[in-house]
């Protein structure tokens, strides 16, 4: 049994404690300085080895240091900050930790992760986001919480209404800050940071650091430790991916065949447009599949319902646009099908990263029409690998020239895109 009391340079009153009935732990997580309770908790969740961001960030956060991390979702980033934060907070008290997220989905995901990791503590975690009523959030805030995961706009509303105060925030996490910038949230973020005490620990996560964010970071952080976990250029090795060439008029039939011939547990189908997603969902429902739909035209209730339905198995198929591809962590997705090739090579990696997560294997199929050849090539160049072209035996293809690799290569060579295209920001 250990009762580690860490040096808290900024927030000296935080004293981590360990519940009495947890065994003494000697794991790779306890070696990073995590208490027995937390090491036991992550062991219960099946984590054996810390991911690189966890190995680097946990000791720094435990010591109270500020961090600029460049890791993306899917790297174990949430646990990298949540575990040491829970340890630092120790036992229930005032609102001492705020995590800002750009979207409701990410806020929900982070809140869920905190709930799981804090299972063996009496810390209270809640979530605050827009698009829903105030009642439950007000009740939760009034009851007293230690940790809030929030989107900026709604948090400001609560602050203005006097429903909560940030005066005791010891630890501030600004997550996915580049997305907050894209979404126009930086002024709100600044207003929120200003309401937190100056003497605090700040953790700042972003995939890129354009000048606006460098400025924000130098204003909000003190002597940060930089932790860079390379950009996700290639999909996890646990994902097998293939391109399925087909003419545009046969896309839906091919999708249908793929679903019929694949033994899938749960599949996410990505479309480029919201209307396209609705149309595919409707056709799949008509052919007997249970389908959830996620895109930005759907309201909050519909999005949560679709996601929950997919997670619990009510829907075997989730049809989504790219907004759902980024960051969403859904366990056990066995297949990803790109009904449309993403325009942006990085989106491909994000989309197919929804399967093969946390060491599970997964398959990713992409339908490639004659018009998509250039985008498909861009994806291969971006990842630095060539993706196998596959054909479904017995499917009545009407344009067999699509399978002529030489012709495809020539078409692609004639239509090479400027490199800058590959690094353009993600579409939302």
Q: Give residue for tokens 């905190």.
A: 114
Pairing label, strands 388-389, 239-245: parallel
Q: Is 206 near ligand AMP (CB under 6 A)?
A: no
Choose between 180 and 246: whose C-beta lies nearer to ligand AMP. Answer: 180
> 306-345 mask for ligand AMP (x: CB under 6 A)?
-----------------------x----------------
The tokens for 174 are 């600004």
Q: Are 334 and 284 in contact (CB under 8 A)?
A: no
Least separation in angstroms between CB 337 and ligand AMP: 21
The runs of H, that is alpha helices, within 197-250 are 211-220
Token pair belonging to 197: 């005490």
Under the binding rule (CB under 6 A), the answer on residue 362 touching ligand AMP is: no
Instruction: Say how far apart CA 173 and CA 271 lie, in whole Å.
Output: 32
Residue 12: CB atoms within 10 Å: 12
Nearer to ligand AMP, 47 or 204 (CB): 47
Looking at the Cβ atoms of 75 and 121, the one nearer to ligand AMP is: 75
Instruction: Report the alpha-carbon distance of residue 289 to residue 292 in Å, rounded.
Output: 10
Residues 74-93 that bind ligand AMP (CB under 6 A): 74-79
CA distances from 142 to 101, 238, 423 (A): 22, 45, 45
Per rule CB under 6 A, is residue 175 in the interface with ligand AMP?
Answer: no
Q: Is 350 in the site for ligand AMP (CB under 6 A)?
A: no
Q: Which stretch binds ligand AMP (CB under 6 A): 50-58, 59-67, 240-248, 312-320?
A: 50-58
How many residues contact ligand AMP, by CB under 6 A?
A: 15
Question: Which residues have CB under 8 Å from 424's CB, separation 6+?
Answer: 344
Q: Is residue 257 close enough to count as binding ligand AMP by CB under 6 A?
A: no
Residue 170 is a binding residue for ligand AMP (CB under 6 A): no
Find the part of the chain contacting ligand AMP (CB under 6 A) among 42-50, 177-185, 286-294, 386-394: 42-50
Residue identified by tokens 């961001």 is 53
Binding status of residue 173 toward ligand AMP by CB under 6 A: no
Report residue 156 as tokens: 């400001």
Closest approach, Cβ 84 to ligand AMP, in A, equals 13
């Amino acid at each position: 049994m250990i009762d580690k009391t860490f040096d808290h340079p900024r927030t000296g009153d935080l004293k981590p404690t360990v519940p009495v009935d947890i065994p003494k732990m000697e794991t790779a997580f306890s070696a990073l300085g995590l208490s027995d309770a937390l090491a036991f908790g992550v062991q219960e969740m099946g984590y054996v080895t810390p991911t690189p961001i966890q190995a680097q960030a946990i000791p720094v956060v435990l010591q109270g240091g500020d961090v600029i991390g460049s890791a993306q979702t899917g790297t174990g980033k949430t646990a990298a900050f949540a575990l040491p934060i829970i340890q630092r907070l120790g036992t229930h008290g005032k609102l001492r930790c705020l995590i800002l997220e750009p979207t409701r989905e990410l806020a929900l995901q982070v809140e869920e992760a905190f709930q799981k990791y804090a299972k063996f503590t009496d810390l209270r975690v809640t979530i605050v986001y827009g698009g829903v009523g105030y009642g439950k959030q007000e009740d939760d805030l009034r009851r007293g919480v230690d940790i809030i995961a929030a989107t900026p706009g709604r948090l400001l509303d609560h602050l203005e209404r006097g429903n909560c105060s940030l005066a005791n925030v010891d630890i501030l996490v600004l997550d996915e800050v580049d997305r907050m910038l894209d979404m126009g949230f930086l002024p709100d973020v600044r207003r929120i940071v200003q309401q937190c005490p100056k003497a605090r620990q700040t953790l700042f996560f972003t995939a890129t650091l354009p000048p606006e964010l460098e400025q924000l970071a130098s204003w909000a952080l003190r002597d940060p430790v930089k932790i860079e976990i390379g950009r996700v250029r290639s999909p996890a090795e646990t994902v097998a991916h293939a391109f399925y060439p087909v003419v545009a008029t046969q896309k839906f039939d091919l999708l249908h065949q793929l679903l019929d011939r694949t033994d899938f547990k749960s599949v996410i189908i990505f479309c480029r447009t919201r209307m396209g997603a609705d149309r595919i969902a409707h056709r799949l429902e008509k052919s007997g599949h249970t389908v959830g739909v996620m895109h930005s035209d759907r309201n909050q209730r519909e999005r949560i319902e679709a996601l929950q339905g997919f997670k619990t198995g009510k829907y075997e198929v989730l049809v989504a646009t790219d907004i759902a591809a980024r960051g969403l962590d859904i366990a056990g997705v066995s297949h990803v099908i790109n009904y449309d090739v993403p325009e942006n090579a990085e989106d491909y990696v994000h989309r197919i990263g929804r399967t093969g997560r946390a060491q599970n294997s997964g398959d990713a199929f992409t339908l490639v029409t004659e018009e998509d050849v250039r985008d498909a090539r861009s994806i291969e160049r971006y990842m630095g690998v060539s993706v196998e072209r596959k054909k479904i035996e017995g499917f009545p293809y009407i344009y067999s020239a699509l399978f002529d690799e030489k012709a495809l290569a020539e078409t692609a060579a004639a239509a090479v895109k400027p490199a800058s295209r590959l690094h353009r920001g993600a579409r939302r």
